Structure 1
Amino acid sequence: MTLVNASPRRKELVRIAARLFVEEGFDRTTVRMLSQAMGIKSGSLFHHFSDKQAILRAVIETGMQHALTLARGSLAEAGCSPEVRLDALARAHLETLLTERNAHVVALYEWRRLDDASRDHLIHLRDAYESLWQKVVDEALEAGLIHGDRLLVRRFLLGALNWTVRWYDPAGPRSPQALAGELLAMLTGRALAAAQTETR
């Protein structure tokens, strides 16, 4: 069962809530602020959501489902090469940050605000996403593409990618694809080795 309703109106309300939670923080965002931004009366808000906690739950679920769908699709097209699969997953993660940035930021910074029931419902999505990453990291380790502790490698990778929401400028000189390539080059040293070969 999913907590996210497919209605276009509800999706729009979730997008507005995600923006407000990023701008103001979950605790400082009031029901009145949400209803004003959504263009509805405070009482009408509860026709769509039972309470503010349900809105937070819907925002985080939206971001997590989007990330999982994008990652699975990218891996399905990536083939069997560990290097290509790692690059595809990094690109998908960065694309998620751009296309569902607010929901992703809320998931990163407001997860602790979820109540126990919401967290228990959503944790399977988080675990599924981390499992995808762990599988691809394990493939890269087994191929000798990268080295290190498997759990730490996954955490470092996701931490570095998630932090791009703080500094990445979509209008800047590097595309998400270029950023993913830079990350892979730093992990494997392959781009550096190729550059050194070309200069000899």
Structure 2
Amino acid sequence: MNVINTSVRRKELTRLAAQLFVQEGFDRTTVRMLAQEMGIKSGSLFHHFKDKQEILAAVIEEGMQNALTIARQSIEHCSSDPEARLRAMARAHLETLFTDRNAHVVALFEWRRLDPVASAHLSHLRDAYEALWVQVIDDALEAQLIRGDRFLVSRFILGALNWTVRWYDPSGPRTPDDLADELVAMIMAH
């Protein structure tokens, strides 16, 4: 299964589907609603996607690919200092959430709607992303910048970062970098 497709039109349709899934939820979004949002006939939708499940998988896969790319670039362009790497990952995560918000909201809240085949296919991307975080958290734990159980620390950090999609106002007084710095400051052992 490979739902990523380089077609510009398919990417645009995926973006529109993500927006609709966020507004209506996956279950309440019909094929007719998707086609209307995309400006095509219902039957034409199946020229680009096999079914609604494939659209969901495409939305999540594209968002996760982007998140992984941004995170890897952030780590590559960062010093080996554990604190700098922790800040870089937090900033990268927030950058991903705020530049590709709809895809990430869909991934966070609709992952459970994926069929088993799509879920298994996309799990490698989630696992690769989480592995980057585990490496950064392990380094921070070893340097005694943070304390606690690695599993709980990683869930706490990712949970806090992910929840910002619910309350953060990009036009407000705090930038995503400010937010990332504040989170890292809160979890660091003093």
Settle same-fold status: TM greater than 0.5: yes
Identity of aligned residues (%): 70
Match of 1:130 in 2: 130
Q: For residue 65 of structure 1, what is the amino acid of its counterpart? A: Q
Consecutive unaligned residues of structure 1, counting only runs of 5 or more, are 191-200
Q: Give the alignment of 1:17-36 within 5 angstroms.
A: 17-36=17-36
The one-character-per-residue Cα deviations of 1:57-110 (angstroms, maximum 9, x if unpaired) are 000001111100000000000120000000000000000111110000000000
The one-character-per-residue Cα deviations of 1:11-55 (angstroms, maximum 9, x if unpaired) are 000000000000000000000000000000000000000000000
Q: Give the alignment of 1:75-94 within 5 angstroms.
A: 75-94=75-94
Bigger Cα Rg = 1
- Does residue 152 (structure 1) correspond to residue 152 (structure 2)? The answer is yes
Give the distance between the partners of 1:2 and 1:177, measured in 2 at CA.
34
Alignment root-mean-square deviation, CA: 0.9
Q: For residue 10 of structure 2, what is the amino acid of its counterpart? A: R
Q: For residue 61 of structure 2, what is the amino acid of its counterpart? A: E
TM-score of the pair, normalised by structure 2 = 0.98
Is the partner of 1:59 in helix, strand or coil?
helix
Give the distance between the partners of 1:26 and 1:165, measured in 2 at CA.
18
Is the partner of 2:27 in helix, strand or coil?
coil
Conservation of the 8 A alpha-carbon contact between 2:147 and 2:189: no
Match of 1:99 in 2: 99
Detail structure 1 runs of 4+ shifted over 3 Å in the superposition: none
- Does residue 47 (structure 1) correspond to residue 33 (structure 2)? The answer is no
Is the partner of 1:78 in helix, strand or coil?
coil
Is the partner of 2:28 in helix, strand or coil?
coil
Is the partner of 1:109 in helix, strand or coil?
helix
- Does residue 120 (structure 1) correspond to residue 112 (structure 2)? The answer is no
Q: For residue 126 of structure 1, what is the amino acid of its counterpart? A: R
Give the distance between the partners of 1:53 and 1:22, measured in 2 at CA.
15
Q: For residue 99 of structure 2, what is the amino acid of its counterpart? A: T
Q: For residue 76 of structure 2, what is the amino acid of its counterpart? A: A
Match of 1:68 in 2: 68
Alpha-carbon offset, residue 2 of structure 1 = 3.6
Give the distance between the partners of 2:28 and 2:151, measured in 1 at CA.
35
- Does residue 185 (structure 1) correspond to residue 185 (structure 2)? The answer is yes
Give the distance between the partners of 1:144 and 1:27, measured in 2 at CA.
45
Is the partner of 1:50 in helix, strand or coil?
coil
Is the partner of 2:77 in helix, strand or coil?
helix
Give the distance between the partners of 2:162 and 2:98, measured in 1 at CA.
11
Consecutive unaligned residues of structure 2, counting only runs of 5 or more, are none
Give the distance between the partners of 2:146 and 2:20, measured in 1 at CA.
39
